[in-house]
Amino acid sequence: MSKFEISSKFSPSPDQARAIENIVKSIKSGNKYNTLLGVTGSGKTFTMANVIRQLNMPTLIMTHNKSLAAQLYSEFKGFFPSNHVEYFISYYDYYQPEAYIPRSDLYIEKDSSVNEELERMRLSATASLLSFNDVICVASVSANYGLGNPSEYQGMVAYLNVGERLNQRNLLTKLVDMGYKRNDAYFDRGDFRVNGDVVDIYPAYYNDEALRIEFFGDEIEAMYHFDVLDNKKLKDVGKFTLYATSQFIVGADRLKVAIKDIEKELDERLAEFNAAGKLVEAQRLKQRVEFDLEMMSSTGMCKGIENYARHLTGQKPGETPYSMFDYFELLNSGEYLVIVDESHVSLPQFRGMYAGDRSRKEVLVEYGFRLPSALDNRPLKFDEFINKKAKFLFVSATPNELELGLSKGHVYEQILRPTGLLDPLIEIKDSDNQVEILFDEAKKVIERNERVLVTVLTKKMAEELSRYYTELGVKVKYMHSDIDAIERNEIIRGLRGGDFDMLIGINLLREGLDLPEVSLIAIMDADKEGFLRSTTSLIQTMGRAARNVNGRVLMFAKKVTKSMQEAMDTTNARRKLQDEYNKAHDITPRSASRNIEESLHIEDEGETYRKAKNLEKMPATERAKIVKELRKQMLEAAAQLEFEKAAALRDEIAKIRKL
């Protein structure tokens, strides 16, 4: 019987069912690499969900950006409500890596802002992987970065049972070893507090509930979950497994060995620097490492502890670091599935990660900012990633030669859309008068209450074109990389909601945008060969018009390039196949539909925020009430994946607590 149960009012279309059957059969017969070539709007996510259900394997879904990962997480949560769907992306809201620029003698210290909610979700993912075998984890490139040893993490576990004899002091010592800290004043995630025979623990990977343990002498008399906000009892538990607060936490014995190894490496490196007459580098390294060792000895942690990961895990120089994949390999006898979504972008990104990380760290090692072992705190090399024990499924509308070569013919197409929609019609127009021609075409589309997407090559052109069309009376906005994620979300919502009719962008209009209201895509200067006008980019851009029954693409060019021809040939071949299928089965195409996303902006939260303006004059009890209310809103926002909203509320709470 399958551990994975899909909750959906839809069943796979014939084209989806065929793709599902072929992929499952291929993986079960032992084929390691497989590719799903699915056109835009063909329901690839639903196909992926059915493949997971039929294979009955724990699954890691990887993609190249956080926005797409959040979208996938939300969709899979909906498909598998009774299974453990987890989210594993970088926990930094803002991240500036440590670096040194020798030319200007400029050292840039690591600077970051950690999103506590994302950190909780990462810990929840690793805890679930060690506890359950029905896990689906949606991850970004973060899954390729080093983590602590899963066996060591598994060893730092506290198993608690009602009726068990356990000395309270021993439990508290164990909690400290696991990274929990005592906090009787303000109870937060990763804290514990003691009140006589009662110990409260707030697991680092829990959202808004904690565990209460009631002792009778040296015996656990009762355990139950309670709501952290209002202290209400939720449910009794007979046994509980508690995991550590970090994947890098190690036991006391392992830590002692690690410290000795770091000291030995430090002595060897200092001898090298002194022999070469590099006295400044030697002094710099000695000062930093000795401080870190002091911190590790006294607290078990230090800033940048990940740079000592090789010593903490006990691995040899150059050995493959532990990562998310090793947690999966502990499950299901090592059988698991890796799905790489938008593989044409994701795989090249995974390939480039190691080299970029290495070049930065080599400079830090050379100039005495880090020990040579810091080079082993790295992402997986591409060969290490692609040769993991897992079965791989690459998913893309435009797979590259890389994944097609790996799949060796195990490529399964999904060309037909459940809506019956065809790939868009393509027209080529002379680029001499492209601005005026587009204006005339856009007017017709806007009159039908449909939207227009325009892709250009530069930010300046996006802004200038937007200004020009505004003067002509078109409601238009532009979008490029200078616009932050929240504002970007607002612009997309505005386009879909009809606040304006035309959106001009550069590369942001390619993967992952699902806009059923858009019926016209205009590609300016389509004959300017390059990344933005490659075959893959053109097919992906055209695909944005395949959500609307009136979908059409205008390419402005002086000549037809090789990329344009290939993109048109592919699109027209698919359109012909889709049309023939519709006629044979009497299907009438209909536009796709999709709910408009929630706003990420912090709206006026009414009374709570109005009160917050007079905080200094307010009694402490009132301030505590406001904190409680804001915290509740923050947790709700985080549960809805509105992380920017949650982060803003978190900052508001921090301000109030300082008063």
**Mean pLDDT across the chain:** 83
pTM of the model: 0.73
* 140, pLDDT greater than 60: yes
Burial of 459 by CB count in 10 Å (0-12 exposed, 13-18 middle, 19+ buried)?
middle
Q: Give the confidence band of 21 by pLDDT, cuts at 50, 70, 90.
A: very high
**Could you give the CA distance from residue 640 to residue 598 in angstroms, rounded to a whole number?**
9
* 490, pLDDT greater than 50: yes
- For residue 338, give the nearest of 613, 230, 294, 346 by alpha carbon: 346
For the ranges 283-292, 600-609, 622-631, the maximum mean pLDDT occurs at 283-292
For the ranges 133-147, 247-261, 450-464, the maximum mean pLDDT occurs at 450-464
Rounded-to-10 torsion of CA 211, 216, 218, 223? -20
Residues 6 or more apart from 483 whose CB is under 8 A from it? 491
Tell me the per-residue pLDDT of 353-405, one tens digit each, with 9 for 90 and over: 888 888 888 999 999 999 999 898 888 898 999 999 899 999 988 888 888 89
Tell me the per-residue pLDDT of 584-615, one tens digit each, with 9 for 90 and over: 888 888 776 655 555 444 444 444 444 444 55
Selected residue with higher pLDDT from 127 and 527: 527
> Contact 220/213 with Cβ under 8 angstroms?
yes
* 430, pLDDT greater than 70: yes
pLDDT of the residue at 436:
92
Q: Which range has the worst mean pLDDT, 463-477, 498-512, 531-545? A: 498-512
Report H helices in 408-457.
434-447
Tell me the per-residue pLDDT of 191-212, one tens digit each, with 9 for 90 and over: 999 999 999 999 887 878 899 9
- For residue 624, give the nearest of 229, 201, 232, 225 by alpha carbon: 229
Selected residue with higher pLDDT from 484 and 400: 400
Q: Pairing relation of β-strands 33-38 and 239-242?
A: unpaired
pLDDT of the residue at 611:
45
Selected residue with higher pLDDT from 111 and 181: 181
Q: Give the confidence band of 409 by pLDDT, cuts at 50, 70, 90.
A: confident
Q: Which range has the worst mean pLDDT, 412-426, 471-485, 494-508? A: 471-485
- For residue 520, give the nearest of 442, 630, 460 by alpha carbon: 442
Helices (H), strands (E): how many in the chain?
A: 21, 25
* 507, pLDDT greater than 90: no
pLDDT of the residue at 619:
66
Q: Which range has the worst mean pLDDT, 63-72, 553-562, 636-645? A: 636-645
Element (H, E) at 643: helix 643-658
Alpha-carbon separation of residue 508 from 62, 483, 491 (angstroms):
20, 11, 12
Q: What percent of the chain clears pLDDT 70, i.e. is strictly above it?
A: 90
Tell me the per-residue pLDDT of 52-107, one tens digit each, with 9 for 90 and over: 999 999 999 998 877 778 778 888 988 998 999 998 887 654 456 677 788 877 77
Tell me the per-residue pLDDT of 201-242, one tens digit each, with 9 for 90 and over: 998 878 788 999 999 988 999 999 998 888 888 999 998 888
pLDDT of the residue at 1:
44
Determine the average pLDDT of the residues in 630-650: 79
Q: Give the confidence band of 618 by pLDDT, cuts at 50, 70, 90.
A: low
Selected residue with higher pLDDT from 350 and 33: 33
Q: How far is the first Cα of the chain from the last one, in angstroms, to the nearest whole number?
A: 56
pLDDT of the residue at 601:
47
DSSP helix, strand, coil percent of the chain (3-state; round to 5) = 45, 20, 35
